[in-house]
Amino acid sequence: MAQSKLWTIGYENVGVPEFVAALKEAKIKTLVDVREIANSRRAGYSKKALAASLDEAGIAYVHMKPLGTPKAGREAARKGDTKTMRRIFEAKLAEPESQLALAETADLAKKGRVCIMCLEHDWRDCHRAIVAEHLGEFGLKPAHLSPGPPR
């Protein structure tokens, strides 16, 4: 079976214009937000504001809450306890709602260019790497975007 591509991106170090430019450069058609809570202290990255910016750029926005890290996992990650974060997040991904969200995301990615996103710039330190691993079971191979430096 030929593998389809899936992109990932984090917004930690960039403003919305650079973030959207990186998506456009990669010809992304749909951004899948894998944050459990699609809010941000960073201007422009809360659900409604981000969806509006993406819409202006011709990119669809989908929030997949079931693919977000639960609060206990986020707290472990903030403490640098990636082993606990992974255990908590893997348990969440085993739930039926999360399995359905993985299948829906894989289906979107097989139909067009999809990028999954959350906060962390470095995908290796982020739960989206775990999401991408699980999407590999659907024949998707991840590529990681690194938007430009902040202004």
- Answer for the pair 12, 118: CB distance below 8 angstroms, yes or no: no
120 is a domain residue: yes
* Rounded percentage of the chain residues whose pLDDT exceeds 90: 80
How much is the average pLDDT of 105-132?
A: 91
Is residue 57 one of the residues assigned to a domain?
yes
Q: Which structure tokens are listed for 7?
A: 């992109």
Residue 150: predicted pLDDT: 45
Dihedrals phi, psi of 126, to nearest 5 degrees:
-135, 150
| Cα distance between residue 8 and residue 38, in whole Å | 16
pLDDT in tens, 8-43: 999 998 999 999 999 999 999 999 999 999 999 889
What's the number of domains the chain is made of?
A: 1
Domain membership flag for residue 114:
yes
- The CA-atom distances, in angstroms, between 5 and each of 23, 26, 55, 74 are 14, 11, 22, 27
Q: Which two tokens stand for residue 72?
A: 């206990």
> What's residue 57's pLDDT?
97
**Structure confidence by residue, pLDDT tens digits, 125-141:** 789 999 999 999 999 99
Does 25 map to a domain? yes
Domain of 74 in residue numbering reads as: 4-144
Enumerate the H helices of the chain as residue ranges: 16-25, 47-56, 71-78, 82-93, 96-111, 127-136
Given a cut of 70, whether residue 49 has pLDDT beyond it is yes
Does the pLDDT at position 1 exceed 50? no
- 11 is a domain residue: yes
C-alpha dihedral (15, 19, 25, 29), degrees to nearest 10? -140
**What is the reported pLDDT for 3?**
57
113 in any annotated domain: yes
> For residue 134, which of 83, 75, 73, 89 has the smallest C-alpha distance?
89
Average pLDDT value for the chain: 92
Residue 151 is assigned to a structural domain of this protein: no
Rg (CA), the chain: 14
43: left (phi over 0), alpha (psi -120 to 50) or beta: beta
| Structural domain contains residue 150 | no
Average pLDDT over residues 65-89: 94
The domain that holds 111 is classified in CATH as 3.40.1010
